[in-house]
Amino acid sequence: MISLPRGMEVTFDDRVECATAAILHVLKWYGVEHPELVFGCAPGFEFDPAEGLIQFWPPGWAPLARERYGLCFEEKNFTGFEAGWEEVLGRLSAGHPTVVVTDAYHLPFYSAYHTNHTGHCLIVTGYDPAARRVEVADISAMLWKGFIDLDQMRLALNLELLPRGQVELRYFDIRPPRTDPAYNKGDLLGVVLPRALGSLKGDVPGIPPHCLTGSKATGAYASFLPQLMERCQEDPRGGAAAVLANRFAGLNVAERRMWFSEILRKAGELLGLDELKAMAELWVELHEEWRVVFNMHLKALAAGPAALTPRILKRLEGAARLEAQAVERLEEALP
């Protein structure tokens, strides 16, 4: 059995998306006290308020992190499983946990198992070569630590059905920082923010939780989309609307949220419902507003909250009004 020299205590963390959560977890394991302040994570993710992926990676962050703190972070991709897996095992033997990206369709403990191809990050913490079983920890979607068969792991590590996924193994090469306590007091290099709109409370002093927006809207469109799909399927003119409905069905949850405005606009065109088209505009505006609020929030964390707090509050009030309007119109949209 190859395992970490000291075990990894895992704790549930759904404040950030899975890659960030896993990477922060590994950094904490290495002894970084506040990794969220020195480590922006998950290259390739764009800010998207609907999806809730919020991270800021200032240009030049990676070399600075390496130079100042000895932190090393690099995404590694392999077109062949064996070479990549050998590296993961080599890291384990040297005492390093490894964050890997998987297709959750093949993870037996995960809700997407055999239903939905979606990317998900795990931490590999051990390997039993005799039993060909891999020890993994999932800390963001759920708290789960256990073994899965190597063959199953191999399937999960093959990302070809995911966007950017033409690889058979992807891992994040994270090396421990120098044991220089200065890194915890160092310059801010990046910021990782919580994922859900509703979980922002307390991050910036003076922003009361009741001002936060987002969860109401998220619930509204989650329940609205199935109705809209059904309506498209039933459209007596058939054809394009039904095709659109089939395309809805092919989108995963994150994609549906991300493309919500576009879905509304397209459905409005195909079903001849002007209200849907007008709503699409409103939802674009709401998403823009969320984007501004989150970016202000991010800036406040990076630059010091005092100056921005009242401005964020004012903005949040506007966003909340817009959200209420968008949700209300959604509820009335399908006669």
Partner 1 sequence: MKAAYLGRFVMLVLDEEMNSKAMTRPEARDEGDFAVGHTLPAEHMPPPDSPLWVEGVPFHMPDPSWPKDNLILEGQRLALPPGRRVRAHFIGASDINPCRARVELLYRPGPPAVARLGFSYFGGRTAHYGNRPAFNIPLLRTRTRDLKADLSLWYQGLDLDPTRELCGMGLDDVPMLHVFALTLENPGEGGPR
Binding site for partner 1 (CB under 8 A): 46-47, 56, 58-60, 63-64, 187-189, 288, 291-292, 295-296, 298-299, 302-303, 308, 311, 314-315
Q: Which of 18, 322 has the CB closer to partner 1?
A: 322
One DSSP character per residue, 171-240 reads EEEEEPPPS-GGGGGS----EE--SSGGG-TTSSTT--GGG--SHHHHHHHHHHHHHHHHHHHH-TT-TH
Q: Which of 133, 257 has the CB closer to partner 1?
A: 257
Q: Which of 120, 315 has the CB closer to partner 1?
A: 315
Tokens of 315: 């903005």
Q: How far is the CB of 29 from partner 1 (least distance, A)?
A: 26
Q: Which of 134, 308 has the CB closer to partner 1?
A: 308
Q: Which of 59, 239 has the CB closer to partner 1?
A: 59
| Angle formed at CA 250 by CA 246 and CA 253, multiple of 5 degrees | 125
Residue 151 CB burial class (10 angstroms; 0-12, 13-18, ≥19): exposed
One DSSP character per residue, 82-133 reads HHHHHHHHHHHHTT--EEEEEEGGG-TTSTTTTT---EEEEEEEEEETTTTE
Q: How far is the CB of 39 from partner 1 (least distance, A)?
A: 13
Q: How far is the CB of 334 from partner 1 (least distance, A)?
A: 29
Q: How far is the CB of 68 from partner 1 (least distance, A)?
A: 9
Q: Which of 87, 285 has the CB closer to partner 1?
A: 285
Q: How far is the CB of 253 from partner 1 (least distance, A)?
A: 22
Amino acid identity for residue 38 in this structure = V
Q: How far is the CB of 292 from partner 1 (least distance, A)?
A: 5
| CA dist., res. 164 & res. 229, Å (int) | 28
